[in-house]
Amino acid sequence: MFDLSFTKLLVLAVLALLIFGPDQLPKVAAQAGRALRDLRRLADMAKADLRDNLGPEFADFDVNDLNPRNFVRKHLLDDLDLDGDEHNFRSPEPAVSRLAPGESPPYDAEAT
């Protein structure tokens, strides 16, 4: 999600050590962990509350479908053939035929 490499994590750790100091860093890390745990619990409770209040008509409703990326993938890209990787789509074969040498292209008076 954030694409953090080892060097970026190391830089963040050094910055946290410089900002908070070695005596405050464990306390700040514990508070951040508790806050993250509370946020996850709150989000899980909100999801469960949403599912309960929607009723039986939406029993198959998935909250992850509200993510725009998942929504587009589910509703717009399901019909495309995937080539093993979700980001490499095979383009359909063109529905045109090649002209023979010397053959003139078709002419449509209404289209021009």
For each of the chain's 112 residues, which pLDDT tens digit applies? Answer: 567 788 998 998 899 989 999 899 999 999 999 999 999 999 999 988 888 888 778 777 777 777 888 878 877 776 565 555 555 555 556 566 788 888 888 777 787 6
Question: Residue 28 in 3-state DSSP?
Answer: helix
Matching residue, tokens 């383009």: 91
- pLDDT value at residue 111: 76
The pLDDT value recorded for residue 36 is 95
CB half-sphere exposure, 73, CA atoms < 13 A: 12
